[in-house]
Amino acid sequence: MSATDPLHSGEPVSWNFKLLSQNNMSGFGGMGEGMAMQIAKDGRRIMWLAHESAPKNFTGVDVTDPRNPKVVVQTALPHADVRSNSLEMSGDILAVAYQTKKKGMQPAGFELFDCSVPENPKSISFFDCSGPTSRGVHQLWFCDGEYVHMAAGSPDFEAANPNDDQFYRCIDVRDPTKPREVGRWWLSGTRKGDNVAPPPRHTLDKGYRAHNCNVYPQRPDRMYLCYLDGGMYIMDIADKSQPKVISHWTNSPPYTGFTHTAVPLFDRGLILVTEESTEDNAKDWPKLIWMLDARDETHPVSFSTLPMPPVDAYKNRGGRFGSHNIHENVPVPTSFQSDQLVFGTFFNGGMRAFDISNAYQPKEVAAFVPPAPNGSKLGAIQLNDVYVDERQVVYTVDRFSGGLYILEMDF
């Protein structure tokens, strides 16, 4: 018997979650970090999921009955060297990112779809980011129907270091047929021609690139921008043409960078910041979810992290172990909203829920670590993202083959 806590032993676990169903996406169960929920005009609840890599683009799943999810549409990418990985939805309009494997390839940008008829998503427009210096869009945020906030390259942006090729771009899509850039921001020193010194490279050098660019209606003039090895920036976007830095937080070095997602909890003056584990066998450990005191937004202070299972129990199970995505309180009617509970995915550490009512002592209250899915080459689950709907149904996806898992909270 293993000499560690069965809840943290690396064995399959279902503690305070009840699995309602699993769907392997018609055999294409490798899912990215785009999860959005639509209530279609006919009343069906459709979950839109981006695939992690080719050949599939995105899949729409009818989750009206969470015990019986049904694929209603699955779209394909034009070739194997592009991935979508990220999508968001506002009303019936779906925004899907396209990122190519190498600079200069196409399609690189994002596409807007009219999903009024979920079975038949219709392309409205494509915003092209392609060029010799660009791989397109890695991550986008689109919740208000007006602006796409994204981490993207551009043909007119050449990075000083090849790892730094994606920055923040704000695209006006109020006329969805004619998306146009209205603003951008990059970390000074990362663009060729900047007259400031480039930032120092981190040991693992994952790059100074934009990642999540979250904007919430409670403060539409603020963006919570994560910049991988650059940490987290609170940005003033009152004037979208000139985003300005309000403050900056980073833990790296000595930590290993890849700051990924920031979720503000406005009523409490807190910000949750995640980083992504990007190395197998936890070589970049620790990868954690951080709690920041942001009561003074000019000076965010980290003071706790969400408790993690012991790294020794998980690091050799196969694939990655460590933090990545959390449920982001997406500002749409179909999203669970909570500043008391956090849901996060940890690759082979599964999906876990935390009670942060005492922000100084967050507690794990539930864990779901399913067995390795069929077709898993790593021999372990790699839960990649999580979304909780307003019914408090929990959705989490496997990065490689397991597809979609739907759960009920039992706490």
Near other proteins by CB under 8 A: residue from 77, 262, 341, 406: 341
CB 202 within 8 A of CB 257: yes
CB 10 within 8 A of CB 378: no
326 class by beta-carbon count within 10 Å (0-12 exposed, 13-18 middle, 19+ buried) = buried
Min dist. Cβ of residue 357 to other proteins (A): 4
CB 113 within 8 A of CB 96: yes
Q: Is 335 in the site for other proteins (CB under 8 A)?
A: no
DSSP 8-state assignment for residue 87: E
Near other proteins by CB under 8 A: residue from 52, 276, 339, 389: 339
Total binding residues toward other proteins, as defined by CB under 8 A: 31
Q: Is 265 in the site for other proteins (CB under 8 A)?
A: yes
* Residue matched to tokens 């409205």: 124
Q: Is 64 in the site for other proteins (CB under 8 A)?
A: no
Near other proteins by CB under 8 A: residue from 1, 102, 132, 195: 1
Pick 16 or 106: Cβ nearer other proteins: 16
Q: Is 197 in the site for other proteins (CB under 8 A)?
A: no
Q: Is 218 in the site for other proteins (CB under 8 A)?
A: no
Q: Is 359 in the site for other proteins (CB under 8 A)?
A: yes
Q: Please name every residue paired with 214 in a beta bridge, in sequence order, or none if there are none.
A: 224
Min dist. Cβ of residue 361 to other proteins (A): 7
Q: Is 270 in the site for other proteins (CB under 8 A)?
A: yes
DSSP 8-state assignment for residue 213: E
Q: Is 361 in the site for other proteins (CB under 8 A)?
A: yes
The encoded tokens of residue 229 equal 């090895």
Stretch that binds other proteins, among 5-13, 36-44, 86-94, 163-171 (CB under 8 A): 5-13
Stretch that binds other proteins, among 74-82, 110-118, 155-163, 336-344 (CB under 8 A): 336-344
Q: Is 20 in the site for other proteins (CB under 8 A)?
A: no
Pick 203 or 337: Cβ nearer other proteins: 337
Closest CA to 256 of 271, 277, 242, 236: 277
The encoded tokens of residue 222 equal 């603020």
The encoded tokens of residue 218 equal 């409670």
Q: Is 394 in the site for other proteins (CB under 8 A)?
A: no
Classify strands 341-345 and 351-355 as parallel, antiparallel or unpaired.
antiparallel
The encoded tokens of residue 297 equal 């937004």
- CB count in 10 Å sphere of residue 375: 14
DSSP 8-state assignment for residue 8: G
Q: How far is CA 133 from the centre of its chain?
A: 24
Near other proteins by CB under 8 A: residue from 340, 377, 390, 391: 340
Q: Which residues in this chain contact other proteins in the complex, by CB under 8 A?
A: 1-7, 9, 13, 15-16, 265, 267-270, 293, 338-341, 355, 357-361, 365-366, 409, 411
